[in-house]
Amino acid sequence: MSLEIAFMQLFNGVSLFTILLLMALGLAIVFGLMGVINMAHGELMALGAYVTYLTALAFQAVAPGAMEIYLFVAIPMAFGVTFLFGYVLEKGFICWFYNRPLDTLLATWGLSLILQQAYRSIFGAQEVSVPLPTWLTGAWEPVDGIQLPLNRIFIIGLTIVVAVSVYLLLYRTRWGLRMRAVTQNRAMSAAVGIDTKKVDARTFALGSGLAGIAGAVFTMVGSTNPGTGQLYIVDSFIVVVFGGVQSLIGTVMSAFAIAQTQTSLEYLLSGSLAKATILLLVIVVLYFRPNGLFAVKQRS
Amino acid sequence: MLRIDKLDVRYGDSKVIQDVTFEVGTQECVALMGRNGMGKTTLLKAIIGMHPSHAGSVRLESVELANLPSYERVRQGLAFVPQGRMIFPLLTVEQNIQAGMENSGGGEIPQYVFDFFPVLHEMRLRKGGNLSGGQQQMLAIARALVSNPKVLILDEPTEGIQPSIIKELARTLNALRKERGFSILVSEQVLSFALEVADRVIVIDRGSFVHEERREQLDEEKVKAFLTV
Ligand SMILES: Nc1ncnc2c1ncn2[C@@H]1O[C@H](COP(=O)(O)OP(=O)(O)OP(=O)(O)O)[C@@H](O)[C@H]1O
Ligand SMILES: [Mg+2]
């Protein structure tokens, strides 16, 4: 394999990396805070993708001249709608299942089926896709023989912006402080005055919103159908478990490692064989580091 | 100020606190004494709302708190320093204190905190989990203080702390009470500490009150008899 191919292969892994990272960030935050495994997280991503699609349709109908910039409306819309949806979901549904992990698993799995069916009824079973603005088509050729697709460069930039924002929110704001306190000790957080119910709802909404952004990113590299979320949910879980909950940097590294391994192995082996190999690797790593690759060390 | 009426607390079917009634007056300090396993922690957790009470009432200045979540009770004016401190291990000292500042909506840590606990200022960027037991105790008190409580509740603050620091702790609590003007409810097994801080001593045995005395009239031998097996 020549150096150019290796480099472009690395870049191919980027779209998977960004989607996995955005998905896993949301999952990890929610799981770390509430111990809730949200099986419907993939459908929240699909919701973000459909919102992006609807925004594109709206632009085409109302302001076709502004299609070049619709993404700058669609991405915040995808975040906002899934954020609100997540907020309502937590208040009306998830909050009944705290401290019952198995029930949560089943309930959110049921929810994921309902959502998939809803998407099928509303948008049909076939794939829908959005047009890419012209400034995102084509590739950048920094040196001869290396072509970097512009849409991938864009989603890397977007993911960096989102990841940095999440970091700043968690580590530089009072809301982040509340979220981290509740993650570390829920009962004590309430006993120092933190409104844990409010933190739960907003955190769940934030995690959902991140899935929505992942959905918006997905539309730039693939076509959406009602089962789109299912494609990524298992991999996102693997990223979270592999990286270790409560470690932002762990999630980033783990998403990168898994996306790159997956993409490179797919180049060499078949898709399902690649997936099986990754699962095997993850199991081996977790055998030696049960709390994930980047588990936070702390005195008990 | 804080009035507990006919409080019952259970773990499943086992009745741990039964028919407990007492009051903590304005700016008063009450020490709750009892041997291991007599129900001190259970009672205090029921007062702050970390454990549900089965029956009875918890009132602060006639506001009924018994069915409110802990954070509402803190808003009403209770603050809690738990047994074992329960510091947020991955937050810095500064962030641990800030976590307790919900009533004032965050912002700068008030200067008096560092005046009383200079060591916390020195260690403010250290992770809470990396402090010594004594430092964690001060941090837990600071974290409770910054909610500007009307009643400060402490669960065995002397546990696992060396004698010289215990003396300092008693002095600090007395000074804080005087300066900040709150009431204190503190559970203890160390009688000498209780006598240094408390106006009144209540002895709890197997979930019920068995003895109560003001400090001036306290019969040390009698209390000691309750505290030894
Ligand atoms: N989570 C629990 N589930 C069941 N029983 C419990 C639980 N916690 C405490 N108990 C029981 O309740 C009783 C009172 O315990 P509690 O912790 O309130 O005692 P304590 O006076 O604080 O003791 P110590 O001085 O050791 O802290 C004990 O018999 C204990 O075994
Ligand atoms: Mg106790």
pLDDT at site B165: 86
CB A187 to CB B147 under 8 A? Answer: no
The percent of residues in chain A predicted with pLDDT above 90, rounded, is 53
Residue identifier of the C-alpha nearest atom 31 of ligand 1: B37
State the pTM of this model. Answer: 0.90
Q: For residues A263 and A154, what is the distance between their CA atoms, to the nearest angstrom?
A: 19
Q: What is the whole-number distance in angstroms between the Cα of residue B37 and the centre of ligand 2?
A: 7
In one letter, which amino acid is B43?
Answer: L
The DSSP output letter for B92 is B
pLDDT at site A31: 85
Lowest pLDDT segment from A271-280, B20-29, B74-83: A271-280
Q: For residues B229 and B225, what is the distance between their CA atoms, to the nearest angstrom?
A: 8
Q: Tell me the shortest Cα–Cα distance from B209 to chain A, in angstroms.
A: 25
Closest by CA to A192, choosing from B158, B168, B70, is: B70
Provide the mean pLDDT of chain A.
88
- If one counts every other C-beta atom within 10 angstroms of the C-beta of residue B117, the result is 21
* Burial state string for A85-118 with b = 16 or more CB within 10 A and e = fewer than 16: bbbebbeeebeebeeeeeebeebbeebbeebbee
Q: Is the pLDDT of residue A42 over 90?
A: yes
B195 against B226, higher pLDDT: B195
Most confident of A9-13, A229-233, B150-154: B150-154
- Tell me whether B128 touches chain A (CB under 8 Å): no
- Indicate which of A192, A245, A249, A299 best probes the interface with B, i.e. most B CBs within 10 Å of its own CB: A192
What residues of chain A lie within 8 A of the CB of B139, using their CB? Answer: none
- If one counts every other C-beta atom within 10 angstroms of the C-beta of residue B162, the result is 11
pLDDT at site B229: 66
Q: Is the pLDDT of residue A300 over 50?
A: no
pLDDT at site A52: 97
Name the pLDDT band for A295 (thresholds 50, 70, 90): low
In one letter, which amino acid is A281?
Answer: L
- What's the CATH number of domain B2-85+150-227, 3.40.50.300, 3.90.1150.10, 3.40.50.720, 3.30.479.10? 3.40.50.300
Give the 3-state secondary structure of residue B229: coil
Give the 3-state secondary structure of residue B187: strand
Name the pLDDT band for A1 (thresholds 50, 70, 90): low
Q: For residues A280 and A288, what is the distance between their CA atoms, to the nearest angstrom?
A: 13
Give the 3-state secondary structure of residue A148: strand
Contacts A–B by Cβ distance under 8 A: 73
A267 against B127, higher pLDDT: B127
Q: For residues B60 and B78, what is the distance between their CA atoms, to the nearest angstrom?
A: 8
CB burial class (10 A; 0-12, 13-18, 19+) of residue A153? middle
Q: For residues B210 and B34, what is the distance between their CA atoms, to the nearest angstrom?
A: 10
Q: Is the pLDDT of residue B136 over 70?
A: yes
Whether complex ipTM tops 0.90 = yes
Give the 3-state secondary structure of residue A149: strand
Q: In this structure, are residues A177 and B99 in contact, taking their beta carbons and an 8 Å threshold?
A: yes
Mind listing the pLDDT tens digit for each residue in A108-142? 999 999 999 999 999 999 999 998 898 988 888 88
A 237-266 residues inside an 8 A Cβ radius of B: 246
Q: Is the pLDDT of residue A256 over 50?
A: yes
pLDDT at site A95: 86
Give the 3-state secondary structure of residue A86: helix
Residue A230: CA count within 13 A, CB half-sphere: 10
B220 against B38, higher pLDDT: B38
Residue A160: CA count within 13 A, CB half-sphere: 7
Lowest pLDDT segment from A4-18, A26-40, A227-241, B155-169: A4-18
pLDDT (mean) for A185-202: 96
Q: Is the pLDDT of residue B74 over 80?
A: yes
Lowest pLDDT segment from A211-215, A267-271, B73-77: A267-271
Q: For residues B115 and A175, what is the distance between their CA atoms, to the nearest angstrom?
A: 28
Name the pLDDT band for A144 (thresholds 50, 70, 90): confident
The DSSP output letter for B28 is -
What residues of chain B lie within 8 A of the CB of A99, using their CB? Answer: none
Provide the mean pLDDT of chain B.
92
pLDDT at site A263: 83
CB A192 to CB B80 under 8 A? Answer: yes
In the beta sheet, which residues pair with residue A148?
A140
E strands within chain B?
2-11, 14-24, 29-33, 55-60, 63-64, 78-81, 151-155, 183-188, 200-205, 208-214
Q: For residues B134 and B127, what is the distance between their CA atoms, to the nearest angstrom?
A: 15
pLDDT (mean) for A242-268: 83
Name the pLDDT band for A99 (thresholds 50, 70, 90): confident
Give Cα separations from A260 to A265, A291, B143, B172 (angstroms).
8, 22, 45, 57
Q: Is the pLDDT of residue B226 over 60?
A: yes
pLDDT at site B221: 77
Does any ligand 1 atom lie closer than 6 A to the CB of residue B40?
Answer: yes
Mutate to test the pocket of ligand 1, among B8, B20, B42, B45 (most ligand atoms within 8 A of CB): B42
E strands within B47-182?
55-60, 63-64, 78-81, 151-155
Q: Compare CB distances from A193 to B50, B86, B100 and report the shortest one's residue.
A: B100
Give the 3-state secondary structure of residue B49: coil
Q: In this structure, are residues A29 and A203 in contact, taking their beta carbons and an 8 Å threshold?
A: yes
Q: For residues A77 and A216, what is the distance between their CA atoms, to the nearest angstrom?
A: 9
A264 against B85, higher pLDDT: B85
Does any ligand 1 atom lie closer than 6 A to the CB of residue B39?
Answer: yes
Q: For residues B6 and A224, what is the distance between their CA atoms, to the nearest angstrom?
A: 61
pLDDT at site A298: 45
The DSSP output letter for B38 is S
